Amino acid sequence: MAIKVKLFAYFREGRGKIVPMDYTPGMTGQDVINTLGITAPEIAAIIVDGVDGKVDSMLTVPIKDGGYLAIFPPVAGG
Amino acid sequence: MFGYMGKILRINLTTGVIGTEDLDFELAKKYIGGRGLGTKLYMDEVDPQIDPFAAENKIIFINGPLTGTATPTGGRYMVVTKSPLTGCIASSNSGGKWGAYLKYAGYDAIIIEGKASLPVYINIEEEKVEILPALDIWGKYTSETSAALTEKHPAASVLTIGPSGEKLSQMAAIMNENDRAAGRSGVGAVMGSKNLKAITVSGSQKPEIANPEGLKAVTKECRGILKENGVTGGGLPTYGTAVLVNIINEHGVYPVNNFQEGGDPGAEAVSGETLTEEYLIKRNPCHHCPIGCGRWVKSEHSPDGVGGPEYETLWVFAGDLGINDMEIVIEANYWCNELGLDTISAGATLAAAMELYQRGYITDEQLDDDVILKFGNAESVIHWLKKLGNREGFGDMLARGSYRLCDFYGVPEYSMSVKKQDLPAYDPRGIQGMGLQYATSNRGGCHVRGYLISPEILGLPEKLDRFDLAGKEVWVKVFQDLTAVIDSLGLCLFTSFALGAQQYADMVNEVLGTEWSAEELLLAGERIWNLEKLFNLEAGISPEEDTLPPRFLEEEMPEGPTKGWVHKLDKLLPLYYKERGWDEDGIPTEERLEKLGLL
Ligand code: SF4
């Protein structure tokens, strides 16, 4: 199955809103961002299969088959 | 005197007497300015139990020491009075340029007292201060009023209320530059109760700076930090605050249908990305602001451009009403500005009314026309917003805000408010610190009295576990005290995404010639927070009101990444009171008040 990578704000530039990727067992967010050419320090928030946490640790969490990632650069407002 | 202009303008609308008074520099330094000093001046003169609409009530327009200086975002003013919505202290701030112009006219503050017998406006051109008839602009929308007064006073910045303020809606805002608002807590209605339609102000004075070279250096440093920062130099200038729609939605805390759900699969249609790609004409920054989150956007209704919606406005006229239509949001934002309405309370009241309709409390027969107030009914939004703003028919019920509306039907629990002020766009069930901050905010439901969204969702300055309770009371206290400082300095809270307490201390020290440390500044923030609390207690706001609507405490979030959660206020509140040095009932202790110089 495939996983879905949702990108936001300027991470979309040249990549699109949603990037489908083939699933490989054990794949992590780090594998995904390597493929997309995004580095960890550029990321402010990340959600893996509905769970958020500190970026560095979330990048090591295995993604589920058919799962998704949401990746955000620094954004704020209020 | 450095930083401040040293003069307060006092205008009595009953007698027509206009006078000036010297600013007490020591008092100003103790309470910084803006929100802090405004609250102190107000409390020294007004009985906290006063009816907000009584002629004896006062309303204060006040700058911070950095307003009108070259500091980044140094242009904000604060309106301080008693809120007709909450009964708490109201301090609402606004950007644009009016605050800076007041300083250039030579004043730190205006204290308005009494009530004019007929509608008036005030024109200030430095020493020339006049109370003028406003019969020809009474009843006019914000842009009509601004245009008419700009024709008479071309050099002036115009501050005005719209029809909602004239008609004493508890959610009426004060507008300046047409689309900048001191939006919350119904401050516009207090102006309306005094028959005061507008204040025009112009001048060419400048505050004296204690150390101009030092200020130049620290301003350059802070501007550099703001530019380099991913949020203040990237996200906010590019997308505006609307960029929050997607990130809040993805975390399952984007309120839908009056907070009955916490996510909306269609939210992309009203996101910051969509606003930027399809509607943005240009940025619309406030005075001296290098960030420029303000938007100027086009829509079918406004092809030549109009002030664009903020995140809260996008949410409240979209997800909270079960509709995802950017055209409607832009038009609703326009009408809120024209009518002089707080967008959050206006949209949230429509959402509460829709839930009352859903549950059968409001019936078709009660609505005096056939446009039904129902979640997802796009045609109802502008229709009922205009009726709310003009208090027409059932709109008169809506104009009182969601709490009074729901209370009328005997079900106040369907008002998503704290201390009667409607909550902004973050469901507290999935953001425990933010929920504590909502419950303890001195002005009721609010997102700018300490923005815990930063660490709990956005990862700024570091990512906290949004469900974990540990240490949240400490974060909430520090954020609340820091926002009191920034509001009192006259700067925009958005600078705090990049700057820290030390940079604020550096800026104000160069302006005032003080030698405050970051800790001393935060202590002043704590003093201001406690002062506001004392006002609320004396006004009869019991600590029992430090709570959240039952929905968040009892109903689990039904779906999404926050599924199954409620807010654990019962665990956090005692820790917060302790952290504040208050007793277990939430009353500041003598010991703490003494330490803060409040006894
Ligand atoms: S960041 Fe936005 S709200 Fe703040 S001063 Fe600048 S334009 Fe105004």
At B379, which CATH number? Answer: 1.10.569.10
Structural domain includes residue B232: no
How far is ligand 1, taken at its centre, from the CA of residue B495, in Å?
Answer: 9
Structural domain includes residue B472: yes
User: Do residues B406 and B543 share a domain?
Assistant: no
Which residue in chain A is spatially nearest to B463 when comparing CA positions?
A54
DSSP string, B290-326: SS---EEE--SS-TT-EEPPPHHHHHHTTGGGT---H
Structural domain includes residue B142: yes
By Cβ distance, the residue of A44, A52, A74 closest to B251 is: A52
CA distance B264 to chain A (A): 14
Q: Do A73 and B230 touch (CB under 8 A)?
A: yes
User: Do residues B269 and B365 share a domain?
Assistant: yes
Structural domain includes residue A32: yes
Selected for mutation to probe chain B from A4, A18, A47, A52 (highest B CB count within 10 Å) is: A52
Pair of tokens at residue B494: 């958005």
What percent of chain B shows pLDDT beyond 70? 100
User: Do residues B450 and B352 share a domain?
Assistant: no
**What does DSSP say about strands B120-125 and B196-202: parallel, antiparallel, or unpaired?**
parallel
Q: Is the dihedral of CA B132, B135, B136, B137 positive or negative?
A: positive
Cβ neighbours of A56 in B, within 8 Å: none
Amino acid B212: pLDDT: 98
CA distance A13 to chain B (A): 11
What is the spatial distance between Cα A67 and Cα B6, in angstroms, rounded to a whole number? Answer: 62
Q: A67 — contact with chain B (CB < 8 Å)? A: no
**What does pTM read for this prediction?**
0.98
Structural domain includes residue B316: yes
Nearest to B336 by CA among B344, B348, B327: B344
Nearest to B157 by CA among B110, B80, B90, B104: B104
Which residue in chain B is spatially nearest to A43 when comparing CA positions?
B459
How far is ligand 1, taken at its centre, from the CA of residue B596, in Å?
Answer: 31
pLDDT band, very low/low/confident/very high, at B88 (cuts 50, 70, 90): very high
pLDDT digits (tens, 9 = 90+) for B195-249: 999 999 999 999 999 999 999 999 999 999 999 999 999 999 999 999 999 999 9
Q: Do A50 and B252 touch (CB under 8 A)?
A: yes
Structural domain includes residue B236: no
Structural domain includes residue A12: no
What is the spatial distance between Cα B272 and Cα B581, in angstroms, rounded to a whole number? Answer: 41
pLDDT band, very low/low/confident/very high, at A76 (cuts 50, 70, 90): confident
Structural domain includes residue A1: no
Q: Is the pLDDT of residue A77 over 90?
A: no
Q: For atom 8 of ligand 1, which residue has the closest CA?
A: B286
Structural domain includes residue A17: no
Cβ neighbours of A76 in B, within 8 Å: 231, 235-236, 241, 243-244, 453-454, 458, 460, 494, 497
Cα–Cα distances (Å) from B176 to A10, B98, B241, B538, B565, in that order, read: 32, 7, 20, 32, 41
Q: Do B447 and A12 touch (CB under 8 A)?
A: no
By Cβ distance, the residue of A44, A50, A52 closest to B460 is: A44
What is the spatial distance between Cα B378 and Cα B321, in angstroms, rounded to a whole number? Answer: 9
User: Do residues B36 and B160 share a domain?
Assistant: yes
Look up the CATH number of the domain holding residue B455: 1.10.599.10
Torsion of CA B379, B380, B384, B385, to 10 degrees: -70
User: Do residues B43 and B187 share a domain?
Assistant: yes
pLDDT digits (tens, 9 = 90+) for B92-142: 999 999 999 999 999 999 999 999 999 999 999 999 999 999 999 999 999
Q: For residues B77 and B215, is the Cβ–Cβ distance under 8 A?
A: no
Structural domain includes residue B235: no
What is the spatial distance between Cα B430 and Cα B253, in angstroms, rounded to a whole number? Answer: 6
Cβ neighbours of A70 in B, within 8 Å: 250
What's the domain range around B450?
427-497+517-595
Q: Do B463 and A77 touch (CB under 8 A)?
A: no
User: Do residues B468 and B560 share a domain?
Assistant: yes
pLDDT band, very low/low/confident/very high, at B369 (cuts 50, 70, 90): confident
User: Do residues B385 and B534 share a domain?
Assistant: no
Q: Is the pLDDT of residue A78 over 80?
A: no
pLDDT digits (tens, 9 = 90+) for B537-593: 999 999 999 999 999 999 999 999 999 999 999 999 999 999 999 999 999 999 999
Phi then psi for B523, rounded to 5 degrees? -65, -40
Nearest to B220 by CA among B284, B292, B290, B283: B290
What is the spatial distance between Cα B500 and Cα B489, in angstroms, rounded to a whole number? Answer: 14
Q: A56 — contact with chain B (CB < 8 Å)? A: no
Cα–Cα distances (Å) from B77 to B35, B125, B127, in that order, read: 9, 18, 20
User: Do residues B292 and B377 share a domain?
Assistant: yes
Q: Of B375, B401, B421, which residue constitutes the final position of a domain?
A: B421
Amino acid B368: pLDDT: 75
Q: A18 — contact with chain B (CB < 8 Å)? A: no
Q: For residues B477 and B576, is the Cβ–Cβ distance under 8 A?
A: yes
**What does DSSP say about strands B18-22 and B7-12: parallel, antiparallel, or unpaired?**
antiparallel
Structural domain includes residue A13: no
Buried b vs exposed e over B546-578: b needs ≥16 C-beta within 10 Å? bbbbebbbeeebeebbbeebbbbbeebbebbbe
Which of B67, B69, B71, B73 has most ligand 1 atoms within 8 Å of its beta carbon, as the pocket-test mutant? B73
Residues 6+ apart with CB under 8 A from B213: none
Structural domain includes residue A51: yes
Amino acid B124: pLDDT: 98
What's the domain range around A55?
25-65
What is the spatial distance between Cα B597 and Cα B442, in angstroms, rounded to a whole number? Answer: 19
- Taking every pair of Cα atoms in chain B, the longest distance, rounded to a whole number of angstroms, is 68
Q: Do B561 and A75 touch (CB under 8 A)?
A: no
Structural domain includes residue A78: no
Which residue type is seen at B83?
A: S
What are the pocket residues of ligand 1 if the criterion is a CB atom closer than 6 Å to any ligand atom? B 73, 95, 285-286, 289, 291-294, 492, 494
Structural domain includes residue B85: yes
Query: What mean pLDDT do residues B285-312 have?
Result: 96
Q: Of B375, B404, B421, which residue constitutes the final position of a domain?
A: B421
How far is ligand 1, taken at its centre, from the CA of residue B529, in Å?
Answer: 23
User: Do residues B180 and B34 share a domain?
Assistant: yes
User: Do residues B372 and B486 share a domain?
Assistant: no
User: Do residues B366 and B273 share a domain?
Assistant: yes
Cβ neighbours of A45 in B, within 8 Å: 247, 457-459, 463
Nearest to B32 by CA among B531, B528, B592, B388: B528
Torsion-angle region of B461 (φ positive above 0: left; ψ -120 to 50: alpha; else: beta): alpha
Q: Do A50 and B561 touch (CB under 8 A)?
A: yes
The predicted complex's ipTM stands at: 0.98
Q: Of B185, B202, B219, which residue constitutes the final position of a domain?
A: B202
Structural domain includes residue A30: yes
* Number of domains making up chain B: 3
Q: Is the dihedral of CA B333, B338, B341, B347 positive or negative?
A: negative
Structural domain includes residue B459: yes
* Number of domains making up chain A: 1
Q: For atom 2 of ligand 1, which residue has the closest CA?
A: B293
Three-state helix/strand/coil letters over B20-71: EEECCHHHHHHHCCHHHHHHHHHHHHCCCCCCCCCCCCEEEEEECCCCCCCC
Q: Do A75 and B247 touch (CB under 8 A)?
A: yes
What is the spatial distance between Cα B340 and Cα B343, in angstroms, rounded to a whole number? Answer: 9
Q: Do B231 and A45 touch (CB under 8 A)?
A: no
User: Do residues B274 and B333 share a domain?
Assistant: yes
Which residue in chain A is spatially nearest to B235 when comparing CA positions?
A75
Amino acid B133: pLDDT: 98
Q: For residues B343 and B313, is the Cβ–Cβ distance under 8 A?
A: yes
How far is ligand 1, taken at its centre, from the CA of residue B1, in Å?
Answer: 28
By Cβ distance, the residue of B238, B250, B458 closest to A44 is: B458
Look up the CATH number of the domain holding residue B182: 3.60.9.10
